[in-house]
């Protein structure tokens, strides 16, 4: 299976989940989405990750983002594990977990890396836009938990830059200054960015974040 690249249409699939059958594209609707895999149920790092996602769901919803998890375990296993997540993480799992026992989705999204493990999924993350195109892919090893603050930061950048002619510099956070994209001529900046700008170099123009009052 070829790797999924940025800008590709996220492959559609139908699968069973803890919240019933999901047709992925229909389930996304007009929302953005995060599809993320975890190596196995009843594992320590994954338990903390899914608990964190449950706590962050309101932040994802503010950004019109739906989240769905996946592992190669079955529905019964998922439901039992959810009880543990709720108990140990002090939360309530409030998003679907896909049961991918036949590894159909895992293979479709190239989530199994045989040199890491021949059966279990790595920690894959796919951020998908409302146009169903893949905007971000990150792959973590099984031993390293994900940083969901970073995923929120990236989504803020992706959504900002999708609608405004800016890019976000290193370590940018929502509210920080942005970079004017090279395609915008310097003489056009005052009209497009009325908050003003600073020219550090002809190719490096800084402007306040345009979608903030």
Catalytic residues: 46
Pairing of strands 204-207, 198-201: antiparallel
Q: List the structure tokens of 88.
A: 């140990």
The CA–CA distances, whole Å, from 124 to 84, 142, 144, 186 equal 22, 10, 11, 40
Pairing of strands 65-71, 32-37: parallel
Name the packing angle between helices 44-62 and 148-163 (round to 10°). 30
Distance separating alpha carbons of residues 79 and 90, to the nearest angstrom: 16
Q: Which of 26, 86, 27 lies closest to 55 in space, CA to CA? A: 86
Identify the burial level of 85 via C-beta atoms within 10 angstroms of its C-beta, where 0-12 means exposed, 13-18 middle and 19 or more buried: buried
């Amino acid at each position: 299976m070829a790797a999924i690249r940025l800008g590709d249409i996220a492959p559609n699939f139908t699968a069973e989940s803890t919240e019933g059958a999901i047709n992925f594209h229909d389930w996304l609707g007009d929302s953005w989405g995060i599809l993320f895999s975890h190596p196995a149920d009843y594992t320590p790092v994954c338990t903390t990750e899914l608990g964190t996602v449950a706590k962050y769901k309101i932040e994802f919803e503010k950004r019109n983002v739906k989240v769905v998890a996946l592992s190669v375990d079955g529905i019964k296993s998922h439901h039992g594990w959810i009880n543990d997540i709720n108990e140990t993480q002090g939360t309530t799992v409030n998003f679907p977990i896909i049961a991918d026992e036949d590894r159909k989705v895992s293979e479709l999204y190239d989530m199994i890396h045989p040199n890491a493990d021949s059966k279990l999924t790595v920690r894959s993350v796919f951020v998908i836009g409302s146009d169903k195109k893949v905007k971000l892919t990150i792959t973590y090893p099984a031993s390293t938990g994900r940083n969901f603050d970073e995923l929120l930061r990236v989504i803020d950048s992706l959504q900002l830059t999708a609608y405004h002619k800016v890019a976000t510099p290193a370590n940018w956070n929502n509210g920080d200054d942005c970079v004017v994209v090279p395609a915008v001529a310097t003489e056009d900046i005052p009209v497009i960015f009325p908050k003003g700008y600073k020219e550090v170099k002809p190719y490096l123009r800084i402007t306040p974040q345009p979608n903030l009052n």
